[in-house]
Amino acid sequence: MTKARDLANGGFGLVLMKPSSVVNGTDNGKGTVSFSAASTVSLNNVFNSTYDSYRIVFTNIIGSANAFLRLRFRKAAADNSTSAYYSSTGIVTWTGVSASGVSAAAASSAALQQLSTTYGQLSFDVTQPLVRPMISGTGMAAGPEDRSQYFSAFINASDTFDGFTFFPASGTITGQVSVYGYNK
């Protein structure tokens, strides 16, 4: 019987990426990073020339406030915080009503999704992090703020990025994150 890991290493599927270092989180030794009551979390050296696209998956993510989760790309363990991020998000409540949306041009970070104080998850693809990264993804937040969300972003900078930092616009976050490379 062929295992999923054997298939991934043979050129199929997704490969879990292990960061070279993590700031304000703990790697489980395989690449999944846990964080608790963190105001910011950084993963270094998860993007490389082996893959063109990546899937980033957040599970059990809880914010101490209903603030937006934000992202900055990193190079050599330093955030790019220039005003070069463009992002947009849309929020739909479970009743099907559009609750709100945000967009930002020339911001110092990209907006992903609004966090829940009860439970949430999100996943998104990052394409071409070594050229000009673009993000597109979806998420959900459960609890008293039930909603589904979609978002997209890019950084208007031609540079190579090997990692990223995420943080809530206010408060702290708790949860897990894993980064997977798409085999070519």
Report yes or no on 83 lying in a domain: yes
Cβ neighbors of 103 (< 8 A, separation 6 or more) are 87, 88, 89
Q: Which of 164, 136, 167, 166 is nearest to 151 (CA)?
A: 136
CATH number of the domain enclosing 171: 2.60.120
Report yes or no on 4 lying in a domain: no
| CA–CA separation, 168 and 145 (whole Å) | 16
Given the structure tokens 């993007």, which residue do they identify?
47
Report yes or no on 9 lying in a domain: no
Q: Structurally, how many domains does the chain consist of?
A: 1
**Domain extent for 113:** 14-182
144 confidence band (pLDDT: 50, 70, 90) = low
Report yes or no on 5 lying in a domain: no
The pLDDT of residue 34: 98
1 confidence band (pLDDT: 50, 70, 90) = very low
Q: Picking from 9-13, 105-109, 179-183, which range would have the lowest pLDDT averaged per residue?
A: 9-13
Q: Which of 9, 14, 11, 6 is nearest to 182 (CA)?
A: 14
Report yes or no on 28 lying in a domain: yes
- Does the reported pTM lie above 0.85? yes
Q: Picking from 4-13, 59-68, 78-87, 99-108, which range would have the lowest pLDDT averaged per residue?
A: 4-13
| CA–CA separation, 70 and 107 (whole Å) | 11
